Homo-oligomer: A and B are copies of this chain.
């Protein structure tokens, strides 16, 4: 491998962003329909921007405070640097920018999709999928460009210019500083996913409770003051939230693999920094082949299957990336066998790990599809139970959701086990990177859903011809399936990302074992497993409170603004948008604080091994609760939708408005915060706690004074013995010579 090969990586990111720009301009050039269509669409676009601005304002405080803390803490230990604050800010900015791109294109593509649906289904698919592609390519492109260029800078500064060892402390420092990028990205994801999840459901429930139930007006009625907030919510939650979530996973997975790659890197063995740059290059390849495969997503006739077109694109990107990975691995890694902790480490095994990751991701999506699709056993069982009432519908959904955790957990366990057997912890991590490689395509398919959904809403509000609505409905139905599989992919990626980060954390913190035979580590595991339950409880309760604020505002507008119901006065849409925005930001503080503080406090108070136990607990229980809530919610949703065409239960056919249908609506309402708020937030929780742990790892490292690094001015640790100083040691004490000095002090 040529040394200058590392410059190829940011170049791939730039190519991606240029393609994105071209696709964005293409979308904007499409016809956007008549004035009335544009008016409503522009309300949504402005509302979405209002949310982003409010979010950014709070975020800017958070980012500044966090950056100062990171800057300070970066000075404390040798294998970090204050520069970490800069990569944190860049990461946060890149993530926010990716969200902005996605929201901008989604709120433009929706009305253009509606207009295109007047012509043909093929055209409507082209517009909506291209809109989704902009989001997907933007996220992946920014990640590859950001990580790639920052790495080059830090590699030059910390390793090349110091003549440092690529396998040593210098490289560890370069990667630790780069980890700030990932923390920045994931922090934004916390706001976008958790805040966005609360926003979307508060607006939805608020709009429905007063509009549909009290005022008796249909969904998406322009007279409902909360209707714009509701539509904004779809974009905020499903587009920006999902985008930030996957951006975070993508970056964190690559980063964790790089950190683990350092261990196998060496100038004189296994191709220099090959293992470090491999995950970035695979991501770059995945981006390019996702773009190539997007060309497969097209139909020619009205009767062609949209789902098949999307599947073709998806599998195309997976297979092309897998094939390309083979050559990439062959080029970057040398054909030698390395012995690491009893493993035979070869490039062939690395390649198989990547393939294993791709397979795990695909299986997880398939299982999700099975448990949440109409017409399959799980959803049918809920439909049938709706006939005996609200309670049996709920029990059925909970049972299905719990059952649906079994296969994914076995697949995940097999993936961990298999990739570890192949290539150790690097194998686990590169498997995750392989799975995430086609993120651009996954996200394009994901973001296509809400665009089609919104397009259908616009068609409905403007009472366009049945033909047009037929086309948007068809796209919307496909979008519902992709939404479910997208969630399966997101939780699988979060799980593997957390494991990769977990492995990286163990490496950096210098722990060799996480022994749950020790009572304190086991206690950490127990408390960790509880955190996702507490987090879910807070998220669900938050939706309830935020929805109540919305209900009160909508009631006030109906009461105080005369003429709304007669279309004579326009409701104050902005106030509802503002209420939802404010409530969501207020309500995400407590869960956010839990995600950030739990690992920090545990790490500093009890040390890295207890923190490791806690991370395992959070990850296991978080993945389970995430799958349970996503799938139960998805299954309830489609059980309700089954009634639209009529379902036969015990020889009787039931339609909408029947008693069983009412029971299914209850299930769907319970499932809403499950699948759109607390379920997806599990992804963020497990990743954020892991990334925070990785960031604090150098401070609590066993290699450098134990769990009391911040107390080091007064206490030092040699081996297992705690030594007190009567006088604070100078800062330079925080170097390897520290222990020697301590030793002298002791003597």
Contacts and interface: CB of A to CB of B under 8 A. Distances in A.
Nearest to A503: B517
Given A517-B513, A529-B529, A624-B530, A395 B523 contact: no
Contacts of A621: 529, 620-621, 624
A428 interface: yes
A533 interface: yes
Given A515-B514, A612-B516, A621-B621, A394 B666 contact: yes
Contacts of A405: 530, 533-534
Contact of A666 (B389, B399, B516, B537): B389
Contact of A421 (B513, B519, B624): B519
Contacts of A209: 388
Contacts of A620: 525-526, 529, 617, 620-621
B540 A398 contact: yes
B413 A526 contact: yes
A647 B678 CA distance: 30
A420 interface: yes
B409 A527 contact: yes
Interface string A392-405: 10111011111101
A536 interface: yes
A309 interface: no
A536 B628 CA distance: 12
A405 B395 CA distance: 21
Contacts of A506: 517
Given A520-B420, A527-B413, A529-B409, A669 B624 contact: no
A537 B399 contact: yes
A469 interface: no
B406 A530 contact: yes
Contacts of A518: 420
A295 interface: no
Interface in A366-419: 385, 388-392, 394-396, 398-403, 405-406, 409-410, 412-414, 416-417, 419
Interface string A662-687: 00011101100100000000000000
Contact of A417 (B414, B520, B538): B520
Interface in A600-633: 612-613, 616-617, 620-621, 623-624, 628
> Which of A405, A526, A538, A543 has most B Cβ within 10 Å?
A526
A511 B525 CA distance: 19
B666 A390 contact: yes
Chain A interface size, as a band, is 35 or more
A522 interface: yes
A391 B674 CA distance: 12
A406 B514 contact: no
A217 interface: no
A544 interface: yes
A616 B525 contact: yes
A395 B390 CA distance: 13
A541 interface: yes
Contacts of A560: none
A512 interface: yes
A406 B530 CA distance: 6
A526 B416 contact: yes
Contacts of A519: 416-417, 419-421, 425, 428
Contact of A544 (B392, B419, B524): B392
Contact of A416 (B419, B517, B522): B522
Nearest to A665: B391
Nearest to A543: B395
Interface in A532-558: 533-534, 536-538, 540-541, 543-544
Given A395-B540, A400-B537, 9 more contacts: A399-B537, A402-B534, A403-B537, A406-B534, A417-B520, A421-B519, A425-B519, A525-B620, A533-B628
28 contacts: A392-B544, A395-B669, A395-B670, A399-B537, A399-B544, A400-B537, A401-B537, A402-B537, A403-B534, A403-B538, A403-B541, A406-B530, A409-B526, A412-B523, A412-B526, A413-B527, A417-B520, A419-B519, A514-B516, A514-B517, A516-B516, A522-B616, A529-B620, A533-B624, A533-B628, A617-B620, A621-B624, A666-B666
